[in-house]
Amino acid sequence: MALVHKLLNSTYILRKCLKPRVASCPFLNTRFADFCSSSLQKPVASPGTASSQRNTAGGLQGHHQSEVALDITSPEEKPEVSFDKAIKDEIKEHFRRLKDDIVNHWIGPEGRPLHEVLLEQAKVVWQFRGKEDLDKWIVTSDKTIGGRSEVFLKMGKNNQSALLYGTLSSEAPHDGESGRSGYCAMISRIRRGPFERKKSYDWSQFNTLYLRVRGDGRPWMVNISEDTDIIQRKNQMYSYFMFTRGGPYWQEIKIPFSKFFFSNQGRIRDAQYQLLLDKISSIGFTLADKVDGPFFLEIDFIGVFTDPAHTEEFAYENSPVLNPRLFK
C-alpha cells in the first residue's frame, strides 16, 4: 500500500508540472503578468537617446556578461514526462534495493562478515555530521493536541552535532478534553527496506546504550520501541531516565539495557518484560519535566557497546520470568 501511495503521489506531481504556472496561482493578476513579461524584454531605445546609451554600453557590458541569463521556456514547450517511465524507475529502484539486501544477507549481518560482527565491542548507530543525518529523525510536541510547546532540530556548531531546542509549556489546551500538556520529543525514523518493508536493529550482542550529549541540566526520558509485529501495540515502549549536568562540557552517558522498564501510554506497567534487543525499531528522547521555559540538548552520537563489568540481565523482580507467583 505504501508503494501504491507513492506512485499515486508521483502522478499528482507530474500532473501539476504539466499545468501552466500562472494558471496555478489565481492571485497573480494580468498586471503582474504584464510586468514580468515586460521586465524580461530588452528596452527599445528612442533615436534621441541612442547616442547616450551607446556611451554607457561599454561600461555595462562587462557587468551584464557576468550575470547568468534567464532560461525562458516557450509556452508551447512542455517537459517530457511519462507516467509509465516513473513507475518503471520506481520498481527498478526497489528491486535493486532488494538485490542488495539479498547479497548482504549472504555475506553476513548488514553486509559484513560474521566474524567481524561477533568481535565488535562498540558501534555508532546514529551520528550527526550533515543534513542527511537530521532527516533520519522526527521532532514533535504537544502542539499535536493543542498545546503551546515548540521544538526544533538543527545542526550544531561546525556540523559536528545535532541541537534540539525549543520552549516547553505545561499550559493545557483549551479544548475541554485534555487536562495535561507539556512535552517535546525527538524520535528516530523507522528504517525502510525494499517495497517499504520495515527493518529493525539487532543489538543482541551489546548490553549498554552509549550516548555523548550536552544539555542544560534537565532530565530526559530515553524511549526504545521494538518491532514485534503481532504482539506490538501502539504507545508501548521501554524507557529510562537520562540526567544532563548542564554547563559547557560534554558528558558520556551509559545506560544498561537491563534498566529499561516497560510502559504503555506513559504509565509504568505492573508486569515488566525484558527488552528484545534483536527487534529494535526506533529510539527517542522526551522532555516532560513540567518546568516551563527554554531548553536545549546537543547530541554528538548515539551508539551501543558491550560492558564486560555489567552482568545484570534484568533489573526488575516483578517479571513473569523471575517471579511467576505474582502473575498466577
Question: Are 171 and 147 a contacting pair, CB within 8 Å?
Answer: yes
Domains along the sequence of the chain with CATH: 124-305 (2.60.120.430)
Which stretches of the chain drop beneath a pLDDT of 50? 1, 3-4, 7-8, 11-73
CA 204, CA 217: separation in Å to the nearest integer?
31
Place of cell 554607457: 56
Residue 217 has a pLDDT of 94
Question: Residues 130, 222, 303, 98: what is their CA dihedral angle, to the nearest 10 degrees?
Answer: -70
Amino acid identity, position 321: V
Q: Where are the alpha helices (DSSP H) in 67-172?
A: 83-107, 114-118, 131-134
**Cα 135–Cα 197–Cα 191 angle in degrees, nearest 5:** 25
- Determine the pLDDT at residue 42: 40
DSSP state of 19: S
Q: What pLDDT shows up at residue 203?
A: 93
CA quadruple 45, 46, 48, 51: dihedral, nearest 10: 20
Alpha-carbon distance of 82 to 86, in angstroms, equals 6
DSSP letters, 229-262, are: TTS--TTEEEEEEEE---SSS-EEEEEEGGG-EE
Looking at residue 69, its pLDDT comes to 42
Q: What is the pLDDT of residue 325?
A: 64
Is 35 in contact with 229 (CB distance < 8 Å)?
no
The DSSP result for 152-207, as a single string, is EEEE-GGGSSEEEEEEE--PPPSSSS------EEEEEPPEE-GGG-EE-B--TT--
